[in-house]
Amino acid sequence: MSLTDKIPFLDLVTPHMELEPELTAVFHKVLSTAGFVGGPMVENFEKAFAAFCDAKNCVGVASGTDAVRFALTAAGVQPGDIVVTVPHTFIATTEAISQAGARPDFIDIDERTYSMDVANLREYLERECYLDRETGKPYHRKFRAPVTAVVPVHIYGQCADMDPILELARRYNLIVVEDACQAHGAEYFSQKENRWRKAGSMGHAAAFSFYPGKNLGACGEAGAITTNSDAMARTMRILRDHGQSKKYYHDMEGYNGRLDSLQAGLLSVKLQHLAEWNRKRQEAAARYDKMLASLDGVVAPYQPTWSRPVHHLYVVRVSDRDGLQKRLAEAKIDTGIHYPIPLHLQKAYETFGFRKGDFPVTEKIALEILSLPMYPQLQPAAQERVVQKIQEFASVGVLR
Ligand X SMILES: Cc1ncc(COP(=O)(O)O)c(C=O)c1O
Chain residues binding ligand X by CB under 6 A are 63-65, 89-90, 92-93, 153, 179, 181-182, 209, 211, 223
Q: How far is it, in rounded angstroms, from Cα 58 to Cα 48?
A: 9
Q: Which is nearer to ligand X, 209 or 335 (CB)?
A: 209
Query: Considering beta carbons, is residue 2 or 256 the nearer one to ligand X?
Result: 256
The count of C-alpha atoms lying within 13 angstroms of the C-alpha of 315, restricted to the half-sphere facing its C-beta, is 25
Q: Of 217 and 373, which CB lies nearer to ligand X in the complex structure?
A: 217
In contact, 316 and 369? CB cutoff 8 Å = yes
| CB of 179 vs ligand X, minimal distance in Å | 5
For residue 102, give the DSSP letter.
P
Closer to ligand X by Cβ: residue 145 or 345: 345
Q: How far is the CB of 142 from ligand X (least distance, A)?
A: 27
User: Within a 10 A sphere around the Cβ of 293, how many other Cβ atoms?
Assistant: 9
In whole angstroms, what is the distance from residue 327 CA to residue 95 CA? 34
Provide, rounded to whole angstroms, the least separation between the CB of residue 338 and ligand X: 8
278: closest CA among 196, 180, 186?
186
DSSP H helix total and E strand total for the chain = 12, 16
The C-alpha atoms of residue 44 and residue 244 are separated, in whole angstroms, by 21
Q: Which is nearer to ligand X, 161 or 179 (CB)?
A: 179
- Residue 387 CB, nearest distance to ligand X (Å)? 26
Cβ of residue 221: shortest distance to ligand X, in angstroms?
6
Shortest Å distance, C-beta 207 to ligand X: 7
Backbone angles phi, psi at 148, to 5 degrees: -110, -20
- Are 230 and 328 in contact by the 8 Å Cβ rule? The answer is no
Query: Of all residues in this chain, which one has the CB nearest to ligand X in the complex?
Result: 64
Residue 96 or 370: which CB sits closer to ligand X? Answer: 96
Given the complex with ligand X, which of 41 and 96 has the nearer CB atom? 96
Pairing of strands 129-131, 138-140: antiparallel
- When the beta carbons of 88 and 385 are compared against ligand X, the nearer one is 88
Give CA separation, 19 vs 25, 104, 241, in Å.
Answer: 10, 40, 31
User: Residue 127 Cβ, how far from ligand X at the closest point, in Å?
Assistant: 27
Q: Which sign does the torsion angle of CA 140, 144, 146, 151 carry?
A: negative
Q: How far is the CB of 62 from ligand X (least distance, A)?
A: 8
3-state DSSP assignment of residue 198: strand
Distance in Å, CB of 189 to ligand X, minimum: 22
Which letter does DSSP use for residue 373 in this model? P
DSSP percent split of the chain into helix, strand, coil, nearest 5: 40, 20, 40
Nearer to ligand X, 146 or 336 (CB): 336
Q: How far is CA 396 from the centre of its chain?
A: 36
- Of 300, 289, 290, 323, which is closest to residue 392 (Cα–Cα)? 323
Q: Are 307 and 159 in contact (CB under 8 A)?
A: yes
